[in-house]
Copies of this chain bind each other. A is one copy, B any other.
Amino acid sequence: MSGPVRLLLADDEHLIRGALATLLSLEDDLVIVAEAATGPEALAMARAHQPDVAVLDLQMPGADGVKVATALRAELPGCRVLIVTSHGRPGHLKRALEAGVRGFVPKTVSAQRLAEIIRTVHGGNRYVDPELAADAIAAGDSPLTAREAEVLELAADGAPVAEIAERAALSQGTVRNYLSSAVSKLGAENRHAAVRLARSRGWV
């Protein structure tokens, strides 16, 4: 009914991006119109080339896949976004979906499958890797309140409470309370373990 699917490929690893570009080009109905290695670059390329589907890596320098997806949603509503990732954390999937992403797959799929999924997404349907979806469901929603998550994030690099308090413009006591409740909600031993746990679930 129409021409080939026009693709934007964004991944910071040349090796993967190039290889992917070659493989996907082998498909008759797919054509790569642009490539990018960073978030901002992906955005610029999308504006310039108006792709039908943007295949984005989740972790890129500059701005991650979800951020790019959000911006794309506003600027190019017609462009479908498909996120590809190595380390799919449950929380990322949720945020991606909220950002209007149409597909979310791990890099463990084959190029064949990816091509099919690109077609699915282009057709207006959604596709989420079943395993990642199961993980996300199993992990559930973050039990943390906004502030708890914020404070936990500031604690992520091992900063002392005093520093966290300053950066969050809170009193030290409040910070300790938030940390304490976050730790107990997550069932962690201490805040550092809590950070790791929240990280692994993609809640921070």
> Which residue numbers of A lie inside 8 Å of B, CB to CB?
12-16, 18-20, 22-23, 37, 84, 86, 106-111, 114, 157-160, 188-196
Copies of this subunit = 2
- Whether the Cβ atoms of B158 and A189 lie closer than 8 Å is yes
Closest Cβ neighbor of A21 among chain B residues: B19
Closest Cβ neighbor of A191 among chain B residues: B158
Closest Cβ neighbor of A197 among chain B residues: B158
Query: Can you report 14 A-B residue pairs in the complex whose CB atoms are below 8 A from each other?
Result: A13-B106, A13-B107, A13-B108, A14-B107, A15-B111, A22-B23, A22-B111, A37-B108, A86-B86, A157-B193, A157-B196, A158-B193, A160-B190, A192-B192
CA A16 to CA B111, docked complex, whole Å: 8
Minimum Cβ distance to chain B for residue A7 (Å): 14
Minimum Cβ distance to chain B for residue A135 (Å): 16
Closest 5 CB pairs between A and B?
Answer: A158-B192, A19-B19, A158-B193, A13-B107, A15-B107
- Which residues of the other chain, B, contact A188 by a CB distance below 8 angstroms? 158
- Which residues of the other chain, B, contact A110 by a CB distance below 8 angstroms? 14-15, 18
CA A12 to CA B86, docked complex, whole Å: 9
Minimum Cβ distance to chain B for residue A179 (Å): 12
- Which residues of the other chain, B, contact A194 by a CB distance below 8 angstroms? 158
- Which residues of the other chain, B, contact A18 by a CB distance below 8 angstroms? 23, 110-111
- Which residues of the other chain, B, contact A196 by a CB distance below 8 angstroms? 157-158
CA A133 to CA B193, docked complex, whole Å: 33
Q: Give the contacting residue for A189; candidates B14, B23, B160, B191; CB below 8 A.
A: B160
Q: A22-B23, A23-B22 are in contact. Are A159 and B189 (CB under 8 A)?
A: yes
- Whether the Cβ atoms of A158 and B190 lie closer than 8 Å is yes
Q: Give the contacting residue for A19; candidates B23, B37, B158, B192; CB below 8 A.
A: B23
